[in-house]
Amino acid sequence: MDINCRHCGEPWDASELHEFGDYHTRAALFAQHGCGAFDSEDPTLVTKCSNEVYDQQLADISAALQDDSDYPDEWIDADAFRRML
């Protein structure tokens, strides 16, 4: 299942959050910095996503989902949510 970057809208497999060994920290970083959360193993070096916008509508929906919940499992339906609009 995909979660989307709040800044560029790019989809990421939610399992990527587990790849760093600090799931809760990485999830919080993703909610704040989007794709940038995956740029460094060191959480103190993570910076905001600077990628070209992939899909602004998905980015906006994802930002709302991430602001609404601290649980990444609740961020995975941005594209499904968009289809309901």
pLDDT of residue 36: 96
pLDDT of residue 67: 97
pLDDT of residue 43: 94
What is the DSSP-derived secondary structure letter of residue 41? S
pLDDT of residue 1: 85
The residue to which tokens 């919940």 are assigned? 69
Q: Where are the alpha helices (H) located in the chain, listed in sequence order?
A: 23-33, 56-68, 78-84
| Domain containing residue 68 | 2-84
In three-state secondary structure terms, 2 is strand
Task: Flag residues of the chain having pLDDT under 50.
Answer: none
For the chain, what is the domain count? Answer: 1
pLDDT of residue 78: 86
* CA atoms of 26 and 85, how far apart (whole Å): 30
CA-based torsion, 69, 70, 73, 75: positive or negative:
positive
pLDDT of residue 76: 87
pLDDT of residue 85: 73
